[in-house]
Amino acid sequence: MSTLTVWKFNTPEGAEKALAKLEGLQKQQLIQVLDAAIVTWPQDRDKPRTYQAFSTVGAGALGGAFWGMLFGLIFLMPLFGMLVGAAAGAISGKFTDYGINDDFIKDVQSKVTKGTSALFLLTGQVTLDKVEEAFAPEERGQLIQSNLTKEQEDKLRQDFGSEIPA
């Protein structure tokens, strides 16, 4: 079973630093990072910068379409307002199938603002106590979490997953 989590950091570079640390922990087999994406929002910018952190060739990876739609729904929605209301409503309804509901979207929107960053993770196995110990208290982000059921995970990968090379 996979878990989709979002970690909010109080600096624009916090998410990138956390991912670098998680990559080291993955080499120690303390966490399995299946996919990741980052949002960084410097104070002097009107919009956040978003990017997929990993190549989507892994078995657990989600496609760029998933991250693009999720980030669009979270960060572009206020810009387009009612013009895209119906389309956003349809997309939002689709994400509910994966355990990502409107409350989750609104929570991320309200917390990831100028001067902050966020790390979106799809993880498998985690040795939680060891991963927690690896992060100093000031390095830890604020957790916004959405657990995926096996069915939601399978549907998410079917709809948005990358094709795995033969």
Residue 80 parent element (H or E)? helix 77-80
Cα 112–50–93 angle (5° rounding)? Answer: 70
140 has a pLDDT exceeding 70: yes
Structure tokens at 81: 């307002």
| Residue spans of beta strands (DSSP E) within the chain | 3-9, 31-41, 49-52, 116-126, 142-147
Tens of pLDDT, residue by residue over 81-125, are: 444 444 555 555 556 655 566 777 788 888 999 999 999 888 888
| pLDDT recorded at residue 58 | 52
Tens of pLDDT, residue by residue over 68-79, are: 777 777 776 544
Cα gap 163→39, rounded to integer Å? 24
Neighbours of 18 (CB within 10 A): 22
User: Is the pTM above the cut of 0.85?
Assistant: no
CB 97 within 8 A of CB 127: no
